[in-house]
Chain A
Amino acid sequence: GQNIDQPTEMTATEGAIVQINCTYQTSGFNGLFWYQQHAGEAPTFLSYNVLDGLEEKGRFSSFLSRSKGYSYLLLKELQMKDSASYLCAVRDQTGANNLFFGTGTRLTVIP
């Protein structure tokens, strides 16, 4: 089975940096995805890590440590439009390579 854990809610200030953590336990880890979901909208793909290390994509970066079962999403220069839920999802080889999602972290950016 899979167990994915991330904080329920976070608040950060416009212009600041925020780190959203995700820990996971899975028997057939084969990659980790981050998605952004604005209220009432579909999740949209942000980043993907399969090897250890940092992947940078503009203001967003994602880090993975497979030995620790740990990932984080780093958002820099926060903007009000970054207020959304951030979903951590693990791809599991033993689960037909499907994605299994955490419950999401609701980020609120305040002025």
Chain B
Amino acid sequence: DVKVTQSSRYLVKRTGEKVFLECVQDMDHENMFWYRQDPGLGLRLIYFSYDVKMKEKGDIPEGYSVSREKKERFSLILESASTNQTSMYLCASRQDVGSPLHFGNGTRLTVT
């Protein structure tokens, strides 16, 4: 079974802090994604990566950056956290464009 692991289940940060959300997958998947999930808005794509060192903006990249130095790890960075970034963050991976996404358990981030 594919395992996508997010480093934290719950995080509480202060406004202006730099926040790192880590995601690791163990199935040698090429593609990795970061979504945020908010009530009434569904899952929205923040950033994605189709290969090591490669990154592309999704629908809502503002206020975020990412890093993919190794194939198995995809990090989401909030350079200066703001209260409107309080959300559930979901990491996902897939082998290729024809494969389904496999999700991590999510990180619930609260910015105060």
Chain A positions within 8 Å of B, measured between CB atoms, are 33, 35, 41-45, 48, 87, 89, 91, 96-104
Task: List 28 interface pairs A-B (beta carbons < 8 Å), by A numbering.
Answer: A35-B101, A41-B105, A41-B106, A42-B90, A42-B103, A42-B104, A42-B105, A42-B106, A43-B90, A43-B101, A43-B103, A45-B100, A45-B101, A45-B102, A87-B43, A91-B97, A96-B56, A97-B97, A98-B33, A98-B58, A99-B45, A99-B101, A100-B45, A101-B42, A101-B43, A103-B40, A103-B42, A104-B42
Please count the residue pairs between chain A and chain B whose beta carbons lie under 8 angstroms apart in the complex: 45
The A-contacting residues of B in range 29-52, CB under 8 angstroms, are 33, 35, 40-45, 48, 50
Count, chain B residues at interface, CB 8 A: 23
When A87-B42, A103-B41, A103-B42 are in contact, do A98 and B103 touch as well, CB less than 8 Å? Answer: no
Q: Inside 8 A of B4's CB, which chain A residues have their CB?
A: 42
Q: Inside 8 A of B59's CB, which chain A residues have their CB?
A: 100
Interface of A, secondary structure class, is strand
Q: Inside 8 A of B33's CB, which chain A residues have their CB?
A: 98
Q: Inside 8 A of B104's CB, which chain A residues have their CB?
A: 42
* Bound-state Cα–Cα, A44 to B101, Å: 8
Chain B positions within 8 Å of A, measured between CB atoms, are 4, 33, 35, 40-45, 48, 50, 56, 58-59, 90, 97, 100-106
* Bound-state Cα–Cα, A45 to B103, Å: 9
Q: Inside 8 A of B106's CB, which chain A residues have their CB?
A: 41-42
8 tightest Cβ-Cβ pairs between the two chains A and B: A42-B103, A103-B42, A97-B97, A45-B100, A101-B43, A101-B42, A42-B105, A43-B103
Q: Inside 8 A of B41's CB, which chain A residues have their CB?
A: 103
**In this complex, which of B50, B97, B101 has the most chain A Cβ atoms within 10 angstroms of its Cβ?**
B101
**Closest CB of chain A to B64's CB: distance in Å?**
16
**Closest CB of chain B to A103's CB: distance in Å?**
4
* Bound-state Cα–Cα, A42 to B100, Å: 14
